[in-house]
């Protein structure tokens, strides 16, 4: 299954989120970086600061430095994004969040990889 969120932030870099299962099947989500940035605005730092995916997002590391970045902790990312407070009433943002959570749930469930690419 492929999701495509490429309206609303034209001109920004594109992100490809991919779940690769151990059997080789892949599901992906394609989005302008702006949708991801809006979702990440709702993630709060822990008592010790930014961790996991949020740390890479705020420091512009991970997918900003490598063509393909494999999330070392999809379970932690899933928990983080489930707890993100989305304060903007936007149907597309809600759909993007649900699609991203679905990919992460699949990666956690079957032990697959969760990959982010930026182009």
pTM: 0.89
**Distance (Å, rounded) from C-alpha 83 to C-alpha 87?**
12
Identify the bridge partners of residue 46 per DSSP, sorted by sequence position.
49
Q: What's the pLDDT at 63?
A: 92
User: What tens digit of pLDDT does each residue of 99-110 get?
Assistant: 999 999 999 999
Residues 6+ apart with CB under 8 A from 65: none
Q: Where are the beta strands (DSSP E) in the chain?
A: 2-5, 14-20, 26-32, 69-70, 113-118
- pLDDT for residue 92 is more than 90: no
User: What tens digit of pLDDT does each residue of 26-73 get?
Assistant: 999 999 999 999 999 999 999 999 999 999 998 999 999 988 999 999
Q: CATH for 2-118, among 3.30.1240, 3.30.310, 3.40.1760, 1.10.3470?
A: 3.40.1760
Residues 6+ apart with CB under 8 A from 107: 19, 71, 74, 78, 113, 114
Domain residue spans in the chain? Answer: 2-118
Q: What's the pLDDT at 88?
A: 78
């Amino acid at each position: 299954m492929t999701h495509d969120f490429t309206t609303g932030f034209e001109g920004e870099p594109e992100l490809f989120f991919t779940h690769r299962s151990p059997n080789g099947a892949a599901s992906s989500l394609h989005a302008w970086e702006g949708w991801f940035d809006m979702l990440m605005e709702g993630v709060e730092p822990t008592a010790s600061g930014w961790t996991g995916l949020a740390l890479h997002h705020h420091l512009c590391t991970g997918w900003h430095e490598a063509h393909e970045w494999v999330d070392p902790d999809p379970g932690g990312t899933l928990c983080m994004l489930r707890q993100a407070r989305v304060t903007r009433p936007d149907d597309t943002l809600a759909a993007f969040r649900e699609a991203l959570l679905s990919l992460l749930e699949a990666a956690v469930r079957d032990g697959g990889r969760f990959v982010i690419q930026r182009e």
